[in-house]
Amino acid sequence: MTRIRIGLLLTIVALVHLTGTAATQRPPLAESDIVDIALLVKLEDTRQFDEVALARLLQSKHPEVKRRAVVAVGRIADPRGGVLLQPLRRDESPDIVATVAFAMGQLKDPAAVSWLAQMLLANPNTGVAFEAARALGKIRTPEAWKALAQYLTNATRAAATEGVVGEALLSMGRYTTREDIAPIVRWTTSPSIEVRWRAAWALFRPHNPAAVPHLLKLSEDQSPDVRFWAMRGLALPPAPTSTPPPGTAPPVEPATVVVDRAATAARLRAGTKDTDRRVRTEALRALDGYDDEESFGVVLAALEDPDTWLSVSAAELLGRHKGRVGQVAPRLAAATAASKPAALRVTAFTPLTQLAPPLALEAAATLLRDPSLAIRTSATQSLRRMGPIGQQFLDNLATDPTMKDLLIPAPPAGGGRQGGPAQPAPTRTDADYRAIVDRWVVPAYNGASGPRAVWTTPRGEIELELYPGESPLGMEEFVRLTESGAIVGTVFSRVVPNFVAQQATIRGANRLRDEVSRLGLTRANLAWASSGLDTGRAGYTLGSTPQPHNEGDFTALGRVVRGMDVVDRLEMGDAVTAARLVK
C-alpha cells in the first residue's frame, strides 16, 4: 500500500479546509460576505492596518470571512494585530483557533508564546497543536524553544501524533543556537520515516558536534529521505566570520564531544556512492570540508560526473581550495569547455576567475560567444567581479564587430535586475478587488477546481496545481503572465541541486504581495523569488526539497502534480518553451 507522506497529507487536508475542495454543507457566501472578503484582500494588498474594519470582520458571523480576517491580520503583520486576535483564542471553531495560531506566528509575537505552548500541550493531536508548533518555530524565543522541547520530551509515539511531532521537530530546527538535543534525539528511532527525516533536519541545522554520532546512525537509515538530511548534517561547521554581538556569548562546543573526522569522512565518501541521487549530492557537499587527500580526490573526481547535481556541486566546492590551485585550476578550466553542460561551465568559471585569472580569460572568450544568454550573462557578471582585469577584457571584446550582439551591457547606475526594470505594484480600485474575489476566491470556496498550468521545458512537461483561494493576488499575476505569453522564454537562472529551481525575473512582472498561508513549503511547492516579504517579482521557483527554514516567508502559490522528475532534471539555462492554462 502506498504510504502517504505527512507533509502531502497535511497539504491536502489544509486545501480541503482552505479552498473548499471536497467541502460539504458550507454556508454560502452572501453579497455582503463577498464585499467583506474583497475589503480584506485590499487591506492585505495595501498592508493597511485598519483597526476598525479588521475588528468588525473578525467578529463576522460567516466563518469564512472570520477566518480570512484572522489570516489578514497575520499577513499585514502590524504588532497591534495580536490584541485584536486575543478574543478569538477561545473561539468555538478549532479551525479559527488554529488560524489564530498561524497568525501569531506571522506576527512573531513573543507575548503569544505562553498561549501557543498551552495549545500545543493541551491539543496534541489537532490542527491547533500543529499550527502552534509551527508558530513557536517562527517566534524563536528561548521560551518558545522550551515549549517545543517540553512537548517533544513528553509526546507519545503514535500515528495520531506524528503530524504535530514532525512540525515541532521542524520548528526546533529553526533554532540555530546549540541547545540540548535530547528532545530531538528521542525521535531519531521513530518507526515513522516522516518523523525520522524531520529529526535529522532538526539535528543538522545548528551544526552541533553533539549531533554527529546520531547523524552518523541516521546516515545509514533505510530511507533516503532520512539519509540525505543526515549527510548534510555531517558537514563541518562553518568557521566564525565575525565577533559575536556585545553581550552575546559565542557558541561553546561541548567539551565531551570529539568528532572523529576520519570516520565521518569515510562515511561521507561511502555516501557519494549511495543509490539515491540526493544522498550522493549531500554527501559530496559535506565532504568538502574534510581536507584529507582521499576526500579531496573524491570531490575533484566528481567534476567529471555525468550527473550535473554532482559535477556542479564539485565545481562550487573546489573554489575554496586555494592551496591546491595547481590541481584544481586546470580541471576547472577543462570544465568550461563547450562540450560540457551549461550549468557546469558557468559554475566552474566563477571560481576559476579567482584562482587562475589567466586561465579564466582564456575560457571567457568561448563562454561569451555561446548562444545561451544564461551562459553569456553569468560569464559577464563573473568577469566584472574580477575588477579592472575583467572589465578590460570586456572592453577589448567590445571593439570586435562579431561580438556586437553577444556582449551583455553593464547594468544601469544604481543596479537593476534581470528581466527588465521593476514594474510598480499595480494600483487597484475597489472594483478590481471585487473582480479578483469573484474570479478566484468565491469559486474556490464553493469547491470549484481552479485552473492548472502546464509548462513545457527541454526536460519535459511540468503540471502545476494552483491555489487561487488562498493566494488570489499571486494567482492574478500568474494568469496574466501565462495568458500574455510573457513567461515563455524565461530561463531557470539558478538551479541549486537538491534545493530549488528558480527562474530569472519575467520581463514586465509586477511586484508581488506575499500571501503566506497555512499551506506549507513542501517539496514541489510553487513560489516566487524574493529577498524578503513583499519584495519579489515572478520568476517562479520550484522546490526540490521541503523548506521549513523559509516557512512564513514565502507564498505557497501551488504545487507540482506531474513532472517532479522533470524539475529534478532541470539545469541552469533551461527555458520555459510553452505555457498554458488547463481549465
Sequence-ordered list of residues with C-beta below 8 angstroms from that of 411, at least 6 positions apart, any chain: none
Rounded distance, CA 149 to CA 134, Å?
Answer: 13
For residue 283 the three cell numbers come to 554527501
Fold observed for domain 440-582: Cyclophilin (2.40.100)
Specify whether the backbone of 475 is left (phi greater than 0), alpha (psi in -120 to 50) or beta: alpha
| Kind plus residue range of the DSSP H or E element containing 219 | none
Task: Give which of 267, 268, 259, 263 is closest to 237, Cα–Cα.
Answer: 259
CATH entry, 26-175, from 3.40.350.10, 1.25.10.10, 3.40.309.10, 1.10.10.10: 1.25.10.10
Sequence-ordered list of residues with C-beta below 8 angstroms from that of 418, at least 6 positions apart, any chain: 377, 493, 504, 505
DSSP-assigned letter for residue 511: B
Q: Which residue has the cell 518553451?
A: 577
For residue 427 the three cell numbers come to 494600483
Rounded distance, CA 311 to CA 326, Å?
Answer: 19
Cα torsion 305, 564, 476, 71: sign = negative
- Beta strand extents in 155-290 (DSSP E only): none
What are the sequence ranges of the domains in the chain? 26-175, 319-403, 440-582
Task: Give which of 550, 463, 524 is closest to 5, Cα–Cα.
Answer: 524
pLDDT at residue 478 in the model? 97
Rounded distance, CA 221 to CA 106, Å?
Answer: 35
pLDDT at residue 417 in the model? 45
pLDDT at residue 530 in the model? 87
Task: Give which of 206, 190, 208 is closest to 257, Cα–Cα.
Answer: 208
pLDDT at residue 420 in the model? 55
pTM, to two decimals: 0.89
Sequence-ordered list of residues with C-beta below 8 angstroms from that of 4, at least 6 positions apart, any chain: none
Q: Which residue numbers in the chain have pLDDT < 70?
A: 1-24, 238-257, 411-425
Total residue length of the chain = 583
pLDDT at residue 13 in the model? 46
For residue 85 the three cell numbers come to 486576535
pLDDT at residue 416 in the model? 43
Which amino acid appears at position 62 of this protein? Answer: H
Rounded distance, CA 384 to CA 397, Å?
Answer: 13
pLDDT at residue 425 in the model? 65
Rounded distance, CA 376 to CA 39, Å?
Answer: 46
